[in-house]
Amino acid sequence: MTGSRFRYSRWDGSQVGFELDAHDILGEIADDLMYHGDPNAALRRLMQEGFTDRNGERIQGLRELMEQLRQERAERLENHSLGGVYDDIAEQLAEVIETERGALADRHTLAEMQLGDPDASESAKRNAELADTTATEKEMALDLLPPDLAGQVRSLQNYDFDSAEAQQRFEDLVDQLRQELVNQQFSQMAGAMEDMTPEDMSRMKDMMAELNHMLEQRANGEEPDFDGFMERFGDFFPENPQNLDELLETMAQRMAAMQAMMNSMTPEQRQQLMELSNQLMEDMDLNFEASRLGQNLQQMFPQMNWGQQYDFSGYDPLGMADASQMLAELGQLDQLEQFLQSPSSPAALAEVDMEQVRRLLGDDAARSLERVSELNKMLEDAGLVRTKEGQLELTPRGLRRLGQQALGDLFSKLDPSTIGKHDTSRSGVGHERNYLTKPYEFGDNFQLHIGETVRNAIRRTGGGTPVRLHPDDFEIEQTEKQVRSSTVLMLDLSLSMPMRDNFLPAKKVAMALHSLISSQFPRDFLGLVSFSETARVLQPQELPEVSWDFVYGTNMHHGFSLARKMLAAETGTKQIIMITDGEPTAHLEPDGHPFFSYPPAQITIEHTMAEVMRCTKAGITINTFMLEPDAGLRRFIERITELNQGRAFYTTPETLGDYVLVDFIEHKRKLLQGRGR
């Protein structure tokens, strides 16, 4: 394949480039990535669907390109006909015969004039009669020409032309057909040798025999002498292949195209063209070597689809040369379609011959493929993904960026008046510096600001050394009052979540909440617990790959138990945020095995409420966000709220993020206002 091509020009302010960076790409696949948790699958889907860059330029996905490819193929088939391959040869032969008949008619006329001339000698009249008879015999020979092309060519090769013009036109036609047939079968080999002589044809036979020998050597594990071969026969190959594989692939494509043309003809057309080929090439013994080469290439390149045939239904007849080019293009379109049906990743598209795509589908298609092929590299270069055991995975930087993306998406929908950071007018002891100072007062934490304290002493004493400090000089740092809180997010991953389209909004909230706490409240604790038939603790780095469980069961009992144990080791205010769309239908038995029942069994309700009571005694507030709850879930959550004194929110997938983020921030604000000094 050819490498990527780049065109450079002087900047005039009008040019636009690929206005999409790695963060934009991650944004394009964010929802897909959060839903399925697989960067490889997300990029494959983006590769299939395409996208639009910041310039508004559409980057076509493989589906669009495949549709364009099929339209290109259909247009060629609907507009053209292969009848021209046969008709063109037949028409030229008819013109040769007509020219010859014209010359014979002239001979009849001349003979009649001589025979009717009273002054003509007996010898002249006998010659005239002989000429007239010869012309009649030749006309009969022309009348008796076989109906098939090969038979006509064979007969005319043995025919004694009366017309020098007709003979020359026939010889030119035979040379042209021989050249075209060689070109058809052997790619560009004859292209460098226009007007091939019999000696050239003989060399071609020798070249093909040696090429077949090289293929047999390779099949036997030997190393063919490709360089020596090119020294002897390189003039047959103007495209200058660098190795035997390049040469063979080019030849296989052309021979497969020739075979496709034969397959696509009517039986009559195919038979006539095959016989014509045999007639024109048998005297040079090329058929045997060509047949060997075709068999060898079919074994080496079975993917060339040697049995392919096309249904041409148009009215524009193609001559042999045009048909050859058309069939070669159709073969390239088929190969491109096969490749685009199953690339493993965008990076695999780098194997496509972009120049061929540009020639077949145009500049826009080639540019789109080039852009799509760069997606993996852009993400890796930006440090958002990395390759591990042949697969892409998010890096910690990518995880943070994905969380920021989710957070930004949710915040963008909120009314700015309902949100805000944890600012407070009160100041106190904490770890966040605000770079303000104040005179020390009795009872203040003694966080002395050395610079301001020394400056106060110098201003008081007027300078000089040593600088002697006095308590009135002391200046301390003010810090924002920070209140630590500990939160565990309980995320329902039961099968009902994706079935009701609740999974992605819930997971996006988890990613956003993790990003919010880690970036804005770094001293806070956030734990993650997923629950379905059983519950388990999640690590933040697992979030992108978390998916729903293909089991039934909503085990709040186990989830509350794990959350309570996690919060027992933490300080500050403690809360559980639970996102769910179903009643508790499972609990853990004393032996550690899950028990499932739907509708919910009374024993499951009792185990769950007992765990709620333990959380309440431990000072843990439970806030529940219900996604499209039914009456049963509402009643159960009302019991939890009554017992725990937490809050319950009835929400939808569209508003879940709004509720959770606003509630969390308001919770932080109230803590700050209640704990300020």
Q: CA-to-CA distance for 575 and 489, rounded, in angstroms?
A: 9
525-531 and 586-588 strand pairing? unpaired
HEC string of 57-70? CEEECHHHHHHHHH
CB 558 within 8 A of CB 534: yes
CATH of 485-675, one of 3.30.1360.170, 3.40.50.11140, 3.40.640.10, 3.40.50.410: 3.40.50.410
Contacts of 124 (CB under 8 A, 6+ apart): 114, 117
pLDDT at 631: 80
pLDDT at 416: 44
Q: pTM to 2 decimals? A: 0.57
Q: CA-to-CA distance for 623 and 637, rounded, in angstroms?
A: 10
Instruction: Give strand ranges (E) for 259-359.
Output: 316-317
Q: CA-to-CA distance for 555 and 593, rounded, in angstroms?
A: 12
80-81 and 316-317 strand pairing? parallel
Q: CA-to-CA distance for 169 and 158, rounded, in angstroms?
A: 15
What is the gyration radius of the CA atoms in the chain, in angstroms?
43
Q: How many CB atoms lie within 10 A of CB 374?
A: 19
Q: CA-to-CA distance for 547 and 565, rounded, in angstroms?
A: 24
pLDDT at 635: 86
**Which residues in the chain land under pLDDT 70?**
1-20, 35-36, 83-85, 182-198, 269, 279-287, 405-436, 441-446, 478-483, 652-677
Contacts of 603 (CB under 8 A, 6+ apart): 587, 595
Assigned token pair, 292: 């060997």
pLDDT at 478: 61
pLDDT at 348: 80
| pLDDT tens-digit map of 69-108 | 889 888 888 888 776 667 777 888 899 999 989 988 888 8
pLDDT at 439: 81
pLDDT at 187: 45
pLDDT at 282: 61
Domain ranges of the chain: 87-181, 427-480, 485-675
CB 502 within 8 A of CB 657: no
pLDDT at 420: 38
Nearest to 304 by CA among 266, 275, 263: 263
